[in-house]
Chains A and B, each alone.
Chain A
C-alpha cells in the first residue's frame, strides 16, 4: 500500500517535470532556429535568475501570482471558471487604496481595515456573478468577463482628478492619494532586498485553503460537487449554495491579489498599477492542479520565468520566447496529466485484476 502511494506521488510529479522539460526543449529549438546560441542564452538566463536579487524579486512576484492562483483554484475545485479575478482584484485594490488613504488608524488596525475592504469588494463583485448564476443560470464565464469590463469602467470614472484621485503637476499619471505609513505592510530584508511581508500571509492562506478542503465538511462538499455536481446534490449537498459561496470565496481571495503590491510597494493605485494578474492566476491554478502546494510551485516557476526573461533583451533575444515557454508548459502539463491519469488507471486495473486472479486461485487451492 505504502509503495503505491509513493508511486502515485511520483506519477503526479512526472507530469509537470515532463511539461517543463518539453517547454525548455521547444524554447531551445526556437532559439536555435532564430540563430541564437541556445546553450549560452539559457545559461545566462539561469545565471541571472539565480542571483539573490532575482530570487527575492521572484518571491515577491510569486506572492501575487499565488493569491491569483488560489483564487482561480477555489473556483476550479467547484467547476467554476472565475475569469473575473482580473476585475475583482483591480476594483478591490482601488477601493482599498482609497479607503486606506482616507482614514488614520494605528498600524495594525489600518492594515487590517485595508485588507478587509479589499476582500469585501472582491467578494461582492464576484457575488454578483454567483448570484445571477444560481438564480438565472447565467454562465459565470460570460458574466465575469463582462464584470471585468464594468470594473474597468468604474475605475476609469472614479480615478480622475476631482473624484477619487489626483494628478501631480508635470505628471501624466493619475493616482489615489498615498496610504500613510501606518497602513503599510512591513517587509523583511533578505540579501539586501526587501521581501513583501504579505508573502507570509499568502502562505498562511494557502495552508488555510488546504485545511478547508481536506479537513472541513464544507471542503468535502466542495470536492464532492467538483467531482460530480449531481451526485453531490443527490447525497444532500445544496449545490446552489455551494456555487454562490465558492464564487464569493474566490472573489475574496481575488481581492487580495493586488494587496502585496499596494501595501508593500506602491502604497497608492494609479495608471501604472500592474494589470493582468487574473489570467496568469488561472494558468497557474491549472499548472498546480488546484492544489495549494502545486499552485505555490506554479507561481514560483511563473515568477522565475518572468524575472529571468528580463535579461533576454540585453542578450538580443526577443522576450516573447518566455511567453511561448509559459504557454507550452500549461498546455503540455494538461496533456501530461491526462496521459499520467490514463497510465495510472490502466496500472490500477492491472493490479486489481492480478489480485482478484490471485484471490481466485488461492481460493481454489484451499
Chain B
C-alpha cells in the first residue's frame, strides 16, 4: 500500500513536470492570460458604422502579448476597427491544434457574422483555403502566407529579407570587431528569411565580416519565440566569442538579448516592432535599431479595404517599397549613418540589389 502511495505521488509530480514542459512548448506568455477584454466595443462617437462588418483576428501560437508579431496584427486591426466603429473579436491557438480545429475556429467566426477574418500565421493556410470556399461573401486575410488562391482571400506577406538587409548594413557599419551575430527564434523558413537578408546586408558593406547565427529551438517546439532566458544565453555566448552587435528575430526571446547587451556593454537590434519603444526602459539604450515588420500596416490596410470594397485577393506584398518593412532610428544611435543605409534601401527598391530569401 505504501508503495502504491509513493507511486501515486511520483505520478502527480511527473505530471506537474510534464504539464510545465507542455506549457513551455505552447510558448504562452503570462501576459496573454491577463483578462484583457477580448471584444473591443465600438466607440459610439464615430458616425454611421457599417453594420455588416465585424472584425476577427485568429492568432498564431504565441498569441497576444508577444510584444511583436501578434500584437502588431492586433494593433492594425484594432486601429481600423476603432476608426470605422466596428466590433473586434480575438481567438487564440494551441500547439495541439489540428487543421480541423483551425478550420472550425474560422467557421465559428464566419457563422457568428465576422467579416473580415484575419488569420495570423502560415499554419492557417490550409484551413483558410477550405473555409473561404464555404463562405464566399466573407473576406479572409492571412498573414505570412501567399499560397491561397481564392477570390475572397488576401495573403498578407512581407519582404522580411529586405528590412533585415538594412539592419545588416547597420550592424556591419557599426561593428568595431568585425563580428556580428544573429539569433533566430525557431528554425523555420520564415525566420531564415530574416537571417538571409541580414547576412546579405552585412556582407554588402564588409565582405569579410564574421557572422554567427543560431536558432533557439527547432519545430515543433516553438518556445524559441518566447524564451528570454535562452535568448540571453545565446546572446552572451556570441558576445563572449567576440561579436559586438547581435540581431534577434526571436519574438519575446529578444528581451534576453537586450539584457545581455546591457550587462556586457554591447549593442542589439530589435525586430518586428520599434523595440526601442516596446522593450523595458532600462535596456532600451542598447537597441540601436529595429527591423520593422509592419504587420499593423497590413492588417489595418486590409480591414479598411474590405470595408470600402477595395480589398485585393491574392498576394498583397508588403515590401520595402510599400512601407511594409524598414528599420527604425529611435534612440539616435545610428543617426550618423542613416544616409548610407537609405542609399542601400533605394538600391533595393530600384532593383539594383536583389536580396536573397534563403541562406546557402
Contact = CB atoms under 8 A, between A and B. Distances in A.
A57 B187 CA distance: 31
Given A53-B104, A152-B221, A171-B122, 5 more contacts: A81-B11, A266-B98, A283-B19, A310-B91, A314-B89
Nearest to A168: B147
14 contacts: A152-B219, A170-B146, A170-B157, A171-B122, A172-B144, A266-B98, A271-B122, A273-B220, A276-B95, A280-B22, A283-B19, A310-B105, A314-B108, A320-B33
Nearest to A156: B218
B343 interface: no
B125 interface: yes
B315 interface: yes
A223 interface: no
B326 interface: no
A318 B33 contact: yes
B7 A171 contact: no
B90 A334 contact: no
B97 A318 contact: no
Given A153-B218, A279-B21, A313-B38, A272 B145 contact: no
B241 interface: no
A167 interface: yes
A10 to B, nearest CB: 22
B126 A272 contact: yes
Given A170-B157, A279-B21, A313-B38, A271 B220 contact: yes
Contact of B188 (A174, A261, A286, A317): A174
A286 B221 CA distance: 25
Contacts of A275: 25, 95-96, 220-221
Given A171-B145, A172-B145, A277-B96, A271 B219 contact: yes
Interface in A146-190: 152-153, 155-156, 159, 167-174
B35 interface: yes
B39 interface: yes
Contacts of B3: 228
B15 A57 contact: no
B192 to A, nearest CB: 10
Interface string B219-261: 1110000000000000000000000000000000000000000
Given A79-B7, A265-B100, A172 B190 contact: yes
Interface string A52-88: 0100010011000000000000000001010100000
Contacts of B21: 279
B202 to A, nearest CB: 23
Nearest to A196: B100
B90 A313 contact: yes
Nearest to B18: A279
Contacts of A286: 11, 15
B6 to A, nearest CB: 11
B337 interface: no
Contact of B96 (A35, A170, A274, A316): A274
A21 B349 CA distance: 63
A319 interface: yes
B354 interface: no
Interface of A: 34-35, 53, 57, 60-61, 79, 81, 83, 90, 141, 152-153, 155-156, 159, 167-174, 228, 261, 265-266, 271-277, 279-280, 282-283, 286, 306, 310-311, 313-314, 316-320, 327, 330-331, 334, 338
Contacts of A272: 99, 122-123, 125-126
A34 B35 contact: yes
Given A318-B33, A327-B19, A334 B12 contact: yes
Contacts of A330: 15
Contact of B220 (A152, A171, A306): A152
A153 B109 CA distance: 36
Contacts of A277: 96
B218 A274 contact: no
Contacts of A60: 100
Nearest 7 CB-CB pairs, A to B?
Answer: A170-B146, A156-B218, A275-B220, A313-B91, A172-B122, A272-B123, A172-B190
Nearest to B143: A172
A356 to B, nearest CB: 21
Nearest to B23: A323
B155 interface: yes
A265 B15 contact: no
A273 to B, nearest CB: 7
B26 A276 contact: yes
A282 B124 CA distance: 28
Nearest to A341: B4
